[in-house]
Amino acid sequence: MTEKSDSLNDSPDTIWDSARRQIGNGLLSVVMPAYNLGHTIADNIQRVHALLNNHVPFEIVVINDGSTDLTALELAAAASRNPSLLIVNLAHNIGKGGALKRGFEASQGSHILFLDADMDLPPEQMSGFFKIMEDENADVVIGSKRHPDSVLEYPMIRKLASAVYFGLVKLLVGLPIHDTQTGIKLFKRSALEWAMPRMLVKRFAFDLELLAIIHEKNFRVAEAPVTLEFHARWGSMRVSSVKQVMTDTLGIFYRLRLLRYYQSIPDAKMPSPPPMVSVIIAYPAPTSYLDECLKGVQSQTYKNYEIILLPDENSNMRWPACVREIATGKLRPAEKRNIGLSQAHGSIIAFLDDDASPLDDWLQQALVHFSDSSIAAVGGPATTPGNDPYMARLGGRVLINHLVSGKYRYRYEPERVREIDDYPSCNLLVRASIMKELDGFRTDYWPGEDTILCSEIVHKLRYRILYDPRVVVHHHRRKLFLPHLRQIGRYALHRGHFARRFPATSRRLSYFIPTLLVLGLILGGAASLFCNPCRILYLSAVAIYCTATFLSCFTRRLDVWLLTWFGVMLTHITYGSRYLVGLLSTKIPGSRKPFDHASENLDYNKSTGESNY
């Protein structure tokens, strides 16, 4: 290609002709993620500003990705001197991909340029990207280290890694490009508006996922040569980073080719005007889990919300203006939530458990679906947090086992978008008008009041409930074995009873399978005592079951593998037994106690409301 060499002979003004034609009456947003660049960030911003000034309309968006040095102070000083500079400060490091997503959401440009803030890739080459975008009628132009006209001194180990990764990407994803990771990329806004809401990866494989989504939608992607100036050590790669890249890459392949997750995301926009949300949190008394929950809500990118706290007793704490605390006395969760509903100002009610902490885009991702008037509620996965105790994380592994949750595994791990008719209220957003039409939750059952609510929404009122894998909360789990099994038994008891009382969503074969297993173990064992062929058949069936569950729990850590295996089998037996009891019962108690949640994992002082986690 000749664009690069020709541009060197052009005047400083004419090399921007393509950019001006492409941008027209729009705006160029240069989005720069920065982490611990306090000593250079101000000069780097000034370099970009001087390059663009008087050539094209522009803004510079710098995302401070939880830096621990002087970056925030330097950015604040730079912003006071430069009106074209927009700063996005993140409280914690979320990775380059997550920072780029935040920067895009804050930007206003018709064209977006992603540029590494360390200036390893000189910004002066961006004008050539516009020339390629114009000449090739491209929607996206990416810098490519593997382009034949690129100028770089690349360490051999990085060249080898790049070649291997390119081969893997070509095989699994089928992208017709040679380099996904170079930190300078130019986009038309329409391409990012399609791709960004579908993104899951926030760190190492962010670029690959972004380009895979864009390519799948048939946006045109072109490659540009780059000049790479090394300002840091590029020769070393941590094993943990390589492992994460491979895991994320395989995940993208699974979602793209097998699950077809990206294609399942509807193209929805935020309702106009943006709705007020009432986040309702019912709990007996404060714990450190509640602190995590509130921190997650208050970190939302969407800010039009209120929080209604529903403890047994008033805490006498000084809450922010957006938080209201209403002491309810010792009531069940459904009763507490109905009190919260009566005091809520929002048109959307977000039900959240106190031991569940939402991701920062939780509301943003959920609310777009309410632009469709046929959708009454939205739910999302409740994943196991990495900071759970060891035995609680094992409880989470049991829940995501395919032989435990089966087709309902999406409740605990992100899967494709789908319509549902039964979802837990630990992560559920519902229109306030629907809740009022149904007079809130039924209070004669717990757990299970959310099952009845969802059934009435779908089968009585004929509205839709949507599951979106991006509407994520981290939900603390019960420890293996007893706390986990107590919870499973309680759910199974009510599900069995609901199979009689509310068959629309509970009389399903998948819920009855564990009971068939228990009956098979009991009746088959009894038959084997009196019949030799029955004994052989019975032992063979048990061996097949044990082998299948054993293999389904595979992991390289033997202790985790074995404990998960025992947890899976005990979960089957507990659920099957209690489901049968509920199925045969004409009446079951609503609950022995008003609450049960993951505070069992805490050293909790009930008299003071304090906990040590």
> Based on the domain organization, do 32 and 143 belong to the same domain?
yes
Give the residue-averaged pLDDT of 281-303.
Answer: 94
Give the residue-averaged pLDDT of 573-592.
Answer: 84
> Based on the domain organization, do 434 and 521 belong to the same domain?
no
Per the omega criterion (within 30 degrees of 0), is the bond before 389 cis?
no
pLDDT tens digits along 1-41: 334 434 444 556 678 999 999 999 999 999 999 999 999 99
Which CB contacts under 8 angstroms, 24+ apart, belong to 549-556?
549/403, 552/401, 552/402, 552/403, 553/397, 553/401
d(CA 496, CA 518): 14
pLDDT tens digits along 50-101: 999 999 999 999 999 999 999 999 999 999 998 889 999 988 888 888 899 9
d(CA 425, CA 434): 15
pLDDT of residue 379: 97
d(CA 122, CA 141): 16
Question: What does each C-alpha distance from 239 to 205, 236, 500 come to in angstroms?
Answer: 15, 10, 53
Computed on alpha carbons and rounded to an integer, the radius of gyration of the chain in Å comes to 28
Phi-psi region of 119 (alpha: psi -120 to 50; beta: other; left: phi over 0): left
The answer to the question of residue 271 being in a domain is: no
> Based on the domain organization, do 310 and 438 belong to the same domain?
yes
Residue 101: exposed, middle, or buried by beta-carbon count in 10 A (0-12, 13-18, 19+)?
Answer: buried
pLDDT tens digits along 549-561: 999 999 999 999 9
pLDDT of residue 231: 53
> Based on the domain organization, do 210 and 340 belong to the same domain?
no
Residue 20: exposed, middle, or buried by beta-carbon count in 10 A (0-12, 13-18, 19+)?
Answer: middle
pLDDT tens digits along 433-490: 999 999 999 998 888 899 999 999 999 999 999 999 999 999 999 999 999 999 999 9
First-to-final CA distance of the chain: 60
Report DSSP letters for 170-195, one per residue. HHHT--S-S-S--SEEEEEHHHHHHH
The answer to the question of residue 489 being in a domain is: no
Residues 6+ apart with CB under 8 A from 427: 351, 352, 353, 356, 358, 379, 380, 381, 382, 471, 473, 475
d(CA 292, CA 283): 14
Give the residue-averaged pLDDT of 295-322.
Answer: 94
Q: What percent of the chain has pLDDT over 70?
A: 91
The answer to the question of residue 270 being in a domain is: no
> Based on the domain organization, do 238 and 326 belong to the same domain?
no
Give the count of domains, the chain: 3
> Based on the domain organization, do 66 and 88 belong to the same domain?
yes
The strand pair at 473-475 and 356-358 is best described as antiparallel
> Based on the domain organization, do 581 and 467 belong to the same domain?
no
Give the residue-averaged pLDDT of 277-297.
Answer: 95
Amino acid making up residue 471: V
The residue among 205 and 131 whose pLDDT is bigger is 131
> Based on the domain organization, do 335 and 467 belong to the same domain?
yes
d(CA 494, CA 591): 10
The answer to the question of residue 612 being in a domain is: no
> Based on the domain organization, do 294 and 391 belong to the same domain?
yes
Residues 105-119 as b/e (b if ≥16 CB within 10 A, e otherwise) read bbbebbbbbbbbbbb
pTM of full prediction above 0.85: no
**Residue span of the structural domain in which 461 resides:** 277-480
Sheet of strand 375-379, all strands in order from the earlier edge strand to the far edge? 323-325, 305-310, 277-282, 348-352, 427-431, 375-379, 464-467, 418-420
> Based on the domain organization, do 179 and 77 belong to the same domain?
yes
Asked if 285 and 354 count as a contact pair (C-beta separation under 8 A), the reply is no
Closest CA to 225 of 311, 147, 136: 147
The answer to the question of residue 563 being in a domain is: yes
Residues 572-582 as b/e (b if ≥16 CB within 10 A, e otherwise) read bbbbbbbbbeb
> Based on the domain organization, do 260 and 282 belong to the same domain?
no
Residue 373 pLDDT exceeds 90: yes
Neighbours of 6 (CB within 10 A): 12
> Based on the domain organization, do 121 and 230 belong to the same domain?
yes
pLDDT tens digits along 410-420: 999 988 899 99
CATH number at residue 136: 3.90.550.10
E strand residue ranges, 45-193: 58-65, 85-90, 111-115, 140-144, 184-188
The answer to the question of residue 406 being in a domain is: yes
Q: Which residue has the tokens 């094209």?
A: 56
The answer to the question of residue 609 being in a domain is: no
